[in-house]
């Protein structure tokens, strides 16, 4: 049986790996010249299984004016004439109620816990070097009300087995001396010892290499998908810039490319690319870089040590691709990081990256079947794609194998998630302009 995996990011490669282990013949289609260079490239490096709360929550409404008006807010929103953006925003706001946000948090915590288990099994089965560390995570707060809220969330999460400790400001700096220069600004932090970090690009590249060399997965690079041809309720070919690919099953793991490819098939995925930025800063002798993975909640910036580098990532921007504002935002990220951890590394040699999270309005990915019998989804992991790749991929592969998955897939499926269906085209779907 031949399975075609569409997309060679962390999600597609992990899917391909699990499929190949099941004995399938697997082909991965990727438009770039290597794996992991889309959204998976220089992300925050967090394997953040216990920090999965959705972006949509009750506090959003009070923050909206700042997002719209302040140039230095960690979240920026530029209204556009794009209908998809407004539909996404309406659905996002519907998910901001306390009840919905709480339910989604529970579902994502379950997915996160299963991802940790699956990732650990994967790391036992294949030896890959991706700067992995069981770093623990310290989320620090500068605002007393936010810290109170975090402690309440900690109690809620404890009922799901998450072990966390609340620390005062002094204890935060003792635990992570790299925070010394902002010690007087902190009100406290929440420490989660079980959290992990790693380099998502290295993970994707090395897992892909192992899958190719040891399990025979075929990677078709520089191959752009132009559409999917459907006949009689199933996909009969993937149409690419290098010809058609005929397979028995097709898994969509295209991240931000998923929506466009699926729309002509009548599947409208409410997903938007939410931009973020990262700096990769060399750490040398004499630097005081954090050993623990740190999140500075006030600025919404994460810090992860990846070998001799410090990855710093943040900002959530709904702004157009290639926006002129990007340079300003990167500069803001740099100055906020430098003032938070001035000795952490050589900021003048920072490598800069802009990426976009493939994000759904409720922050849950789309996993599992579609109305086409051999077309499967594994997309929309948003700001948690590295964290959730293992669970998402294993669940989709189990379902494709017609085996009961370890978690009920219902909360993550396309159907029943307020997703509108367009009128399906009957023959082939070809991307506009190509
Ligand atoms: C600033 C930032 C920080 C982040 N930090 C974290 C973090 O700390 N932890 C975490 O878990 N997640 C984090 N994320 C989110 C995470 O990076 C993404 O969720 C994840 O990379 C998505 O993986 P993917 O495989 O779905 O998408 P991608 O990596 O983008 O892969 C999709 C692939 O499909 C290919 N493709 C698309 N369209 C086509 C087409 N038509 N034809 C052929 N190929 C196509 C693309 O080239 C791409 O390689 C962060 C994201 C950003 C932007």
Is 423 exposed, middle or buried (CB count within 10 Å of its CB: 0-12, 13-18, 19+)? exposed
Q: What's the mean pLDDT in 67-85?
A: 80
Condensed to tens digits (0 to 9), the pLDDT of residues 242-270 reads 999 999 999 999 999 999 999 999 999 99
User: Pairing relation of β-strands 293-296 and 366-369?
Assistant: unpaired
Nearest ligand 1 atom to alpha carbon 30: 44
If one looks up domain 2-40+201-269+362-412 in CATH, what number appears? 3.50.50.60
141 pairs with which residues across the strands?
Answer: 188
Burial class of residue 155 in the structure, from the number of CB atoms within 10 Å of its CB (0-12 exposed, 13-18 middle, 19+ buried): exposed
What does the alpha-carbon distance between residue 30 and residue 354 come to, in Å, rounded to a whole number? 20
Read off the pLDDT of each residue in 142-150 and give the average, rounded to a whole number. 93
What local confidence, expressed as pLDDT, does residue 419 receive?
44
Query: What are the strands, taking DSSP E only, across 49-205?
Result: 75-77, 137-141, 165-167, 188-192, 196-197
For the CA atoms of 377, 356, 238, 214, the dihedral, rounded to the nearest 10 degrees, stands at: -80
CB 135, CB 291: distance < 8 Å: yes
CA distance 71 to 151: 30
Pairing of strands 243-245, 234-240: antiparallel
Q: pLDDT tier at 153 (50, 70, 90 boundaries)?
A: confident
Span 89-111, average pLDDT = 93
Q: Which of 35-39, 78-82, 170-174 has the lowest mean pLDDT?
A: 78-82
Q: What is the arithmetic mean of pLDDT over 142-169?
A: 90
User: Which secondary structure element, helix H or strand E, spans residue 388, and what is its range?
Assistant: helix 385-400
pLDDT at res. 423: 33
Beta-carbon count within 10 A of 237 CB: 18
DSSP 226-239: EEEEEETTEEEEEE
Sign of CA dihedral 302, 303, 304, 310: positive
Residue 232: predicted pLDDT:
97
Cα(278) to ligand 1 centroid in Å equals 14
Closest CA to 30 of 7, 2, 4: 7
Confidence of residue 143 (pLDDT cuts 50, 70, 90): very high
Other CB atoms within 10 A of residue 159 CB = 9
Q: State the chain's mean pLDDT as an integer.
A: 92
Confidence of residue 417 (pLDDT cuts 50, 70, 90): low
Pick from 119, 109, 87: nearest CA to 159: 109
The answer regarding whether domain 51-103+131-196+272-359 maps to CATH 3.30.9.10 reads: yes
Taking residues 310-334, report their average pLDDT. 91
Q: How confident is the model at residue 429 (pLDDT cuts 50, 70, 90)?
A: very low
Cβ(264)–Cβ(225) under 8 Å? no
Say if CB 88 and CB 270 are below 8 A apart: yes
Considering the chain, what percentage of its residues have pLDDT values greater than 70?
A: 96
pLDDT score, position 427: 26
Do 411 and 131 contact (CB within 8 A), yes or no?
Answer: no
The closest alpha carbon to 91, from 423, 316, 418, belongs to 418
Please state whether beta strands 2-6 and 25-29 pair in parallel, antiparallel, or not at all (unpaired). parallel
What integer is the mean pLDDT of 15-21? 98
Digit-coded pLDDT (tens) for 178-200: 999 999 999 999 999 999 999 99
Q: Residue 424: its pLDDT value, please?
A: 34
Q: Provide the 10 A C-beta neighbour count for residue 117.
A: 15
> Mapping DSSP to helix (H, G, I), strand (E, B) and coil, where does residue 292 land?
coil
**Cβ partners under 8 Å of residue 34, min gap 6:** 8, 205, 221
Lowest mean per-residue pLDDT among 40-49, 222-231, 324-333: 324-333
Could you give the CA distance from residue 196 to residue 176 in angstroms, rounded to a whole number? 16
Ligand 1 pocket test, candidate residues 385, 391, 434, most atoms within 8 A of CB = 385
Hey, is 146 helix, strand or coil?
Answer: helix
Nearest-atom index, ligand 1, CA of 10: 25
Q: Which atom of ligand 1 is nearest to the CA of 387?
A: 11
Ligand 1 pocket list (CB less than 6 A): 7-12, 29-32, 38-40, 43-46, 48, 200, 224-225, 253-257, 261, 276-278, 302, 313, 355-358, 379, 381-387
> Is residue 127 pLDDT above 90, yes or no?
yes
Q: For ligand 1, atom 18, name the residue with the nearest CA.
A: 385
What is the pLDDT at residue 59?
82
Counting residues of the chain whose pLDDT is more than 90, the rounded percentage is 83
The ranges assigned to domains in the chain are 2-40+201-269+362-412, 51-103+131-196+272-359
Higher pLDDT, 152 or 423: 152
Q: How far is the centre of ligand 1, averaged over its atoms, from the C-alpha of 218 (Å)? A: 20
> Rounded to 5 degrees, what angle do the CA atoms 281, 45, 390 make?
160
Annotate 295-350 with DSSP letters as a single string: EETTTTEEEEEETTEEEEEEEEEE--TT-TTHHHHHHHHHHHHHHHSTTSS-GGG-
Shortest-distance Cα residue to atom 12 of ligand 1 = 384
Q: Which tokens in the block code for residue 224? A: 């752009």
pLDDT tens profile 376-387: 999 999 999 999
pLDDT digits (tens, 9 = 90+) for 283-310: 999 999 999 999 999 999 999 999 999 9
Among 63-67, 126-130, 146-150, the least confident range: 63-67
What is the pairing mode between strands 249-252 and 2-6? parallel
The 10s digit of each residue's pLDDT in 233-244 is 999 999 999 999
Residue 366 contacts residue 358 (beta carbons within 8 Å): no
Alpha helix stretches (DSSP H) within 308-371: 326-340
Task: State the pLDDT at residue 432.
Answer: 28
User: What crossing angle do the helices spanning 10-21 and 200-215 adopt, rounded to 10°?
Assistant: 30
pLDDT band at 406 (very low <50, low <70, confident <90, very high): very high
């Amino acid at each position: 049986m031949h399975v075609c995996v569409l997309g060679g990011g962390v999600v597609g490669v992990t899917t391909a790996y699990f499929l190949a282990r099941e004995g399938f013949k697997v082909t991965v289609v990727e438009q770039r010249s290597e794996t992991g260079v889309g959204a998976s490239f220089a992300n925050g490096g967090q394997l953040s299984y216990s920090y999965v709360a959705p972006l949509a929550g009750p506090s959003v409404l009070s923050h909206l004016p700042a997002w719209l008006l302040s140039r230095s807010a960690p979240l920026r929103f530029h209204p556009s004439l794009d209908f998809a953006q407004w539909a996404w925003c309406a659905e996002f706001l519907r998910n901001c109620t306390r009840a919905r946000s709480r339910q989604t948090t529970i579902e994502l915590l379950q997915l996160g816990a299963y991802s940790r288990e699956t990732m650990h099994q994967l790391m036992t089965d294949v030896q890959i070097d991706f700067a992995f560390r069981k770093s623990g995570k310290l989320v620090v707060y500068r605002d007393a009300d936010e810290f109170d809220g975090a402690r309440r969330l900690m109690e809620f999460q404890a009922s799901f087995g998450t072990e966390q400790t609340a620390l005062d400001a002094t204890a935060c700096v003792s635990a992570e001396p790299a925070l010394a220069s902002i010690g007087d600004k902190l009100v406290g932090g929440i420490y989660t010892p079980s959290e992990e970090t790693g380099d998502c690009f290295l993970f994707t590249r090395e897992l892909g290499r192992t899958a190719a060399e040891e399990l025979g997965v075929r990677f078709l690079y520089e191959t752009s998908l132009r559409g999917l041809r459907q006949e009689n309720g199933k996909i009969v070919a993937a149409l690419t810039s290098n010809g058609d690919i005929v397979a028995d099953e097709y898994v969509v793991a295209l991240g931000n490319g998923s929506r466009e490819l699926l729309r002509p098939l009548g599947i409208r995925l409410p997903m938007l690319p939410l931009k973020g930025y990262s700096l990769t800063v060399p750490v040398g002798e004499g630097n005081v870089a954090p050993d623990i993975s740190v999140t500075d909640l006030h600025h919404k910036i994460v810090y992860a040590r990846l070998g001799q580098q410090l990855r710093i990532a943040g900002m959530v921007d709904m702004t157009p691709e290639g926006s002129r504002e990007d340079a300003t935002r990167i500069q803001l990220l740099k100055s906020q990081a430098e003032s938070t951890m001035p000795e952490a590394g050589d900021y003048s040699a920072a490598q800069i990256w802009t990426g976009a999270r493939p994000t759904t309005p409720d922050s849950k990915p789309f996993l599992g079947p579609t109305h086409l019998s051999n077309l499967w989804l594994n997309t929309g992991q948003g700001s948690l794609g590295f964290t959730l790749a293992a669970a998402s991929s294993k669940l989709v592969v189990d379902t494709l194998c017609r085996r009961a998955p370890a978690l009920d897939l219902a909360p993550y499926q396309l159907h029943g998630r307020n997703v509108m269906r367009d009128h399906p085209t009957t023959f082939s779907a070809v991307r506009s302009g190509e």
